[in-house]
Amino acid sequence: ETGVTQSPTHLIKTRGQQVTLRCSSQSGHNTVSWYQQALGQGPQFIFQYYREEENGRGNFPPRFSGLQFPNYSSELNVNALELDDSALYLCASSWPGTGDNEQFFGPGTRLTVL
Amino acid sequence: KNEVEQSPQNLTAQEGEFITINCSYSVGISALHWLQQHPGGGIVSLFMLSSGKKKHGRLIATINIQEKHSSLHITASHPRDSAVYICAVRPYYNTDKLIFGTGTRLQVFP
């Protein structure tokens, strides 16, 4: 059973650019959640995808968007990057049908916006 | 006010000491998670609780649903326990979302 993987591990962009982050969910998991963790803070919920549909969203602007693919892997896209978007982006996969809902986290992508 | 509050924010200890980290929350929850985050960012799930107490090795987690409070205890602490410990709750209004505390940074010195 493979764990949650994310790519890339690190990324440097400049203001105004666009970025795509990728997440492969743990085998058998159909739900992926994305979180933003600023330095020294706890993660903040961005959104969740369940069976290729957005299934809940946190307090993030529309320039944060996502996709989930039929194999349940997911992308997070951020347009018009701002300096404050610099953070660790974490994805977590889960299988909601079990009633357990434990989330398994990937190692994160560290994004730096200059 | 954050929905999940942790204390203390920072904690230093000598190897062997008993450690307690506290978490209070203000929303109705279906579960509470204790997570460990090492430098570099990876998060590992330690416990998921909805009532009572759980133990795994030197780690013990308790929760009091009526008081909306949970504690994580580390017995016989070791330098390898140095990490950020994060409490996260799963609210009733969205049971697939986690609301995180800001974490407690623990450093255990030999």
Of A45, A88, A96, the CB nearest to B98: A45
Query: Mean pLDDT for each consecutive 10-residue tract of chain B (110 residues)?
Result: 91 97 95 90 88 95 96 97 95 81 95
pLDDT digits (tens, 9 = 90+) for A46-102: 999 988 999 889 899 999 999 999 999 999 999 999 999 999 999 999 876 544 567
What is the pLDDT at residue A10?
95
Mean pLDDT, residues A14-25 taken together: 96
Residue A93: in which H helix or E strand, if any?
Answer: strand A87-94
SS (H, E, C) chain B: CCCEEEECCEEEEECCCCEEEEEEECCCEEEEEEEEECCCCCEEEEEEECCEEEEECCEEEEEECCCCEEEEEECCCCHHHCEEEEEEEEECCCCCCCEECCCEEEEEEC
A43–B41: do the CB atoms touch at under 8 Å? no
Instruction: Take residue B24 and report the two structure tokens written for it.
Output: 């209070």
A55–B42: do the CB atoms touch at under 8 Å? no
B97–A100: do the CB atoms touch at under 8 Å? no
What is the pLDDT at residue A96?
67
What is the pLDDT at residue A18?
98
What is the pLDDT at residue B55?
96
